[in-house]
Amino acid sequence: MTAEDAAKGLETAPHERRWRRRSLWALLLLVPLALAEQSYEGVMRLLHNQDLLARDVAWKQAAEFGGSEWRLTDLRAEFERMDLLLTRMLVRAMRNYFAGMREDQVLPIGARELFEPELRSIDQTRTRLLSPRYADRAAPEGLDDLDATAELIRKTIARAPSLPDFSDSPSPPKPTRRLRTLGRPIRN
pLDDT, greater one: 23 or 44:
23
Residue 178's pLDDT is what?
A: 56
Same domain, 95 and 151: yes
Question: Is 17 part of a structural domain of the chain?
Answer: yes
**Which amino acid, one-letter code, is at 38?**
Q
User: What pLDDT sits at residue 160?
Assistant: 87
**Which of 71, 99, 120 is the last residue in one of the domains?**
71
44 shares its domain with 115: no
Confidence of residue 185 (pLDDT cuts 50, 70, 90): low
Asked if 65 and 87 sit in the same domain, the reply is no
Asked whether residue 45 is domain-assigned, the answer is yes
Do both 65 and 137 map to the same domain? no
Please check whether residue 43 lies inside any domain of the structure: yes
3-state secondary structure the chain: CCHHHHHHHCCCCHHHHHHHHHHHHHHHHHHHHHHHHHHHHHHHHHHHHCCCCCCCCCCCCEEEECCEEEECCCHHHHHHHHHHHHHHHHHHHHHHHHHCCCCCCCCCCCHHHHHHHHHHHHHHHHHHHHCCCCCCCCCHHHHHHHHHHHHHHHHHHHHCCCCCCCCCCCCCCCCCHHHHHHHCCCCC
Tell me if 153 sits within 8 A of 118, measured CB to CB: yes
Q: How many domains does the chain have?
A: 2
Say yes or no: 91 and 67 in one domain: no
One domain, residues 26 and 104: no
> Using an 8 Å Cβ cutoff, are 186 and 133 in contact?
no
Q: Is 172 within the bounds of a domain? A: no
What pLDDT, in 10s, does the model give residues 142-164?
889 999 999 999 999 988 888 88
* Rounded Cα–Cα distance for residues 111 and 35 (Å): 72
Burial tier of 134 (Cβ tally within 10 Å: 0-12, 13-18, 19+): middle
pTM for the structure as a whole: 0.51
Same domain, 116 and 65: no
pLDDT value, residue 43 = 79
**132 and 157 share one domain:** yes
In a domain, 4, yes or no: no
- Report the mean per-residue pLDDT for the chain: 80
Same domain, 87 and 118: yes
Give pLDDT tens digits for 96-144: 998 998 888 888 888 888 899 999 999 999 999 898 888 888 888 888 9
CB-based contacts of 122: which residues, under 8 Å, 6+ apart?
Answer: 91, 94, 146, 149, 150, 153
User: Is 149 within the bounds of a domain?
Assistant: yes
> 93 with 159, same domain?
yes
Q: What pLDDT shows up at residue 93?
A: 92
Residue 6 in any domain: the answer is no
Domain assignment of residue 155, given as a range: 75-165+177-183
Is residue 7 domain-resident? Answer: no
Average pLDDT in the 60-69 region? 74
